[in-house]
Structure 1
Amino acid sequence: MKENIINKQTWIAVYGQVLIQDGTITLVPDSEQIDSTTASLVIDQSPSPPHAVVKSNIEFDQGTITWEANVGGADARAQLLLSVEPDVNDASINGATNSTELATGLNVLGTPYGFALFKNGKWEALGGTGQGSTLPTGKWIKMKLTARGSNVELFCENVKVVDTTVTLRRAQLGVLLQGSSESSIRNVVVDVEAPTCFAIMQFTEEFDILYRDVIRPVCESYGYKVIRGDDFYTGGQILEDVTRSIRNAALIIADVTPENANVFYEVGFAHAINKPTILLSDRKREKLPFDISGFRTLFYDNTIGGKSLVEERLKKHLDALRPK
């Protein structure tokens, strides 16, 4: 459901001076600020223009955000801040997280439109467009972001200007404003969608039971929409449906018990695009293939007790990825 900033959303400045009024957040550029690279998301410039970081009570990881942005000068920045998942099969599974944020919007690391990752106190460009052009100043510009799985796209005036591949973590939405002149963001509208879990497995009765009795109900209890390859009803090629579903999924769960070429192809594709992936395997399998033997795998016994145990362990993984 879409919510308008004026009615139900709260924004608080956690660094810098801003004016928040009637759904508009505006940087106060003539305020004095502490020069600290650890206090906020400071841009690497010397001297650094005034900047502010504002956080909200809106939690977002999948869906659509629309807003309007206004930059007052060439050095002004008006960007959203979103939290990013740690690398796949890394600290996220253990519940540890690194502070990583995605900045997107206007004037991102030298490009009029773009994405940048802020991690360990440094900025990394993830894509930008509009080089050689200049943004209009003192004018409200309509922006939109869509996030489905690891596909994140940025639109300006309903034109897609740049995209990137990154998995967002459900966390509070923020705003970064910077510049020696005023920059503002207003009319933030958020449409949160349920993230998708794509289940990869062989289509036989044994795995149908695991999917129906364990994977689907557990994941749905964490807010995921769960699909499998046999849920496709399009007229296109199956491979295109599968790869698109993997790209659009926030999470992959794959049972690698049998030697199924399709399953391993899809798991390989998911790993290649850095998709959060949970592997399952029946203990009857003596040895995993070398290429995936280093990944964390939930082993289970194909019994009633075994199903209960894998359900419990699956919940622990999901607690790290998407707490209830």
Structure 2
Amino acid sequence: MAYRDQWKMLHLLNTSMRGALKETELIEMGIDCYPDTIQYLKDDGIVEMDGTGVYSLNPMVRRMLNKFMIAMGAGDMKEIYVDVPSCFIVMPFSEEWSDTVFYDFIQPAVIKSKMECVRGDMIPRVGKLSENIVKQIQRTGLVIADISVPNANVFYELGIADAIGRDVFLLYEKNIEQNLPADIQGAHYYAYDRNNIPESVERFAESLIQWKELYRVDVTLKYCRK
């Protein structure tokens, strides 16, 4: 938990509207373990604190974070947003069941959890597609991916999400469980039943709400740009 909190604190400071945050604001967003998080960053010179107890990034760290941490992406957008109330949906949109799963299952669950729902095939196609995908994943709070069938685009976008450190929820139709890839570690898996969509919506919405509560997601936009 401490490592994720350190990672979160760096990006919260980087995207904060004032470029700095008070300790009380950090605590409100879930950064509440000083010895395991803030102290380490201070000791390494990554985070600085002024005389009033306000934290900010070391200027060199901020420049490195925005210029070199993401190798690919729009030139005017390098910032990574952490724990914001939005979901980027990755799935094979050309399957005959895709619209049913999205409109009857995924989108209603996301709406019930009071988060923004963005379809991966509906983002603006300006410039390189890969840059648009990277930019969207940088700005979202959570990636939801349906891996019910093998799909190169889905796994490509999951790779980007993993490299950036984005939280991912993986969905699959329960009848194909034996065909799931074995090498996706650390992700949250959720089975759904196309024959009982309403029940699946309620269960998945509850999981999304739990994620929001765990990481204090609704607080982030009070202090950070979006």
TM over 0.5: yes
- 1:216, 1:226 within 8 Å by CA — same for their partners in 2? yes
Higher relative contact order (CA 8 A, sep 6+): 2
Aligned to 2:191: 299
Match of 1:203 among 93, 107, 129: 93
Q: 1:155 to 1:119 in 2, by over 3 A?
A: closer
Unpaired segments ≥5 residues, structure 2: 1-11, 70-79, 219-226
CA deviation string 1:254-281 (max 9, x = no partner): 0000110110121122123221111100
Of residues 155, 162, 175 in structure 2, which corresponds to 1:284? 175
| Per-residue deviation, residues 65-88 of structure 1 (Å, max 9, x unmatched) | 33889xxxxxxxx76742598xxx
- The one of 133, 143, 146 equivalent to 1:242 is 133
SS of match in other structure, 2:126:
coil
Q: Of the candidates 83, 97, 104, which is equivalent to residue 213 of structure 1?
A: 104
Inter-partner Cα distance in structure 2 for 1:127 and 1:273: 23
* Aligned partners of 2:46 and 2:58 also within 8 Å: no
Work out the CA distance in 2 between the residues paired with 1:163 and 1:127: 14
Greater radius of gyration (CA): 1
Consecutive unaligned residues in structure 1, runs of 5 or more: 1-59, 70-77, 86-98, 103-116, 146-153, 170-193
Q: CA 1:310–1:79 in structure 2 vs 1: closer, same or farther (change >3 Å)?
A: same
Separation in 1, partners of 2:190, 2:212: 18
Query: Taking structure 2 as the reference length, what is the TM-score of the superposition?
Result: 0.63
With structure 1 as the length reference, what TM-score do the two structures score? 0.46
Q: Deviations over 1:145-201 (max 9, x none)?
A: 9xxxxxxxx698xxx6564888755xxxxxxxxxxxxxxxxxxxxxxxx63210000
1:128 aligns with 2:46: yes
Residues 281 and 299 in structure 1, CA contact (< 8 A), matched pair in contact too: yes
Report deviation, 1:310.
2.0
Q: How many residues align?
A: 185
**Matches of 1:293 and 1:318 in 2, distance apart?**
19
Residue 320 of structure 1 pairs with residue 210 of structure 2? yes
**2:101 aligned counterpart, secondary structure:** helix
1:82 to 11, 21, 26: 26
Q: Which has the higher helix share?
A: 2
Specify the alignment match of 1:309 in structure 2.
199
**Alignment partner of 1:298: what SS?**
strand
1:259 aligns with 2:150: yes
Q: Is 1:65 aligned to residue 9 of structure 2?
A: no
Task: Select the structure that is richer in strand.
Answer: 1
Going from structure 1 to structure 2, the CA distance change for 1:220 and 1:284 (only over 3 Å counts) comes to: same
